[in-house]
Structure 1
Amino acid sequence: MLLDKPQIVWENEDAEKFFTELSELFELNDRYEKIKHKTELLLDITEIFSSLTQSKRGAKLEWMVIILFLIDILLSVLEKLLF
């Protein structure tokens, strides 16, 4: 919708020529494509960082579970040895 022509362009031929000239002068289509590409790239980067953060957090939780299992095993072995 950003590059859509305004309503006045459909009603007035001079306005359409003026809009087309300004669009070409300011290179609106090229700029829009570049901005679109950059925002898609930024979205990809944020998704990658998000997945890395989640995997890092998941790895920490897995290690915590492993450590808790080891502590549980050690406590049960010590309990059987002492009693």
Structure 2
Amino acid sequence: MAKEIPSVGDLRRKAEITDDEIEEATAAYLKDDGAEPFAFKSGHRIDVAKAIEMHPQAKKLLADKATTPGLRRTMVKTAVIMGFPVQG
């Protein structure tokens, strides 16, 4: 049986990733959507742009110029939490 890959949210529940780090990853993407993958202190990294691509609602709302800044932040943060980081 294949080992299940934990999401950022799973790692947060295990206290391997903090809420502050999730906020930092969100802010970094909002500042520069071409930024390098975000590195968590646990050693995990997440490509926020890829996480957004994998989240259809976030992708749709972030492509819409009329989406408010608050909703943009919420969608990026949601995509980060639901995203699957890599170790190392």
More helix by share: 1
Give the shorter-chain TM-score range. Answer: under 0.3
TM-score (norm 2): 0.23
TM-score (norm 1): 0.24
Higher RCO, 1 vs 2 (CA within 8 Å, ≥6 residues apart):
2
